[in-house]
Amino acid sequence: MKWIPQEVETYLSAKEYVDTALVPLYFVSTGAEMKQSAEAAEFITLLSSHLERQFTGRIVLFPPFTYLINDDSEKVLDDLKNWENTILKAEFKHIFYLTSDINWRTKEDKVSGSIIWVPSIPLEQMNDSQKLKMIDSQAKQLLALFTNKWNEKR
């Protein structure tokens, strides 16, 4: 379910079926890395919305958690933990974070949700059908991560 009023309403009426939160992580930077950060954001946006399409009935796609790349990483981590606690309190059992910032790889065990790191692919040179194929094949590989996690506690 997307973060729009109609779908949030569906979520509220079908809470017992929707137990997974998907939070995209965006890093923001200016200057030389600005373009890279925009590319990553585009990629993560497309990928997360594609995943949401596959698993509409079990996932709520949250608005992205956005942070400055120059920020103190401990502070960013604390902020994310704060999000995590709030989401867990709201009856979500699983949390997935989708990011292309490599710094999160070292912090995988510091949060209870699963961090999915995917290297960002610049999409600007591709036409729409190439983009779709690209995102589709990426998403396919990630689908198993979700179903495996769900099956663990089945």
Partner 1 sequence: MSKERVSRRQFLSYTLTGVGGFMAAGMLMPMVRFAVDPVLKADAGGDFIATPQKVADITEEPIRVDFSYKQKDAWYESEVTETAWVYRDEAGKIVALSPVCKHLGCTVNFGGDKEHPDQFFCPCHYGRYTKDGTNVPGTPPLAPLDVYPYKEKDGFLYLGKAEPRKEA
- Closest alpha carbon to 58 in 112, 14, 117: 14
Indicate the residue among 14 and 34 with the shorter CB distance to partner 1. Answer: 14
In the chain the first and final C-alpha atoms are separated, in Å, by 22
Indicate the residue among 8 and 132 with the shorter CB distance to partner 1. Answer: 132
Length of the chain: 154
Angle between helix 34-54 and helix 128-152 axes, rounded to 10 deg: 60
Indicate the residue among 43 and 146 with the shorter CB distance to partner 1. Answer: 146
Tokens representing 46?
């497309």
Tokens representing 85?
């606690």
Query: Which positions lie near partner 1, rule CB under 8 A?
Result: 10, 14, 17-18, 53-58, 128-129, 132, 143, 146-147
Provide Rg for the chain, Cα atoms: 16
Indicate the residue among 72 and 128 with the shorter CB distance to partner 1. Answer: 128
CA atoms within 13 A on the CB side of 21: 23
Quote the least distance from Cβ 15 to partner 1, whole Å. Answer: 11
Quote the least distance from Cβ 136 to partner 1, whole Å. Answer: 8
Quote the least distance from Cβ 124 to partner 1, whole Å. Answer: 16
Quote the least distance from Cβ 55 to partner 1, whole Å. Answer: 5
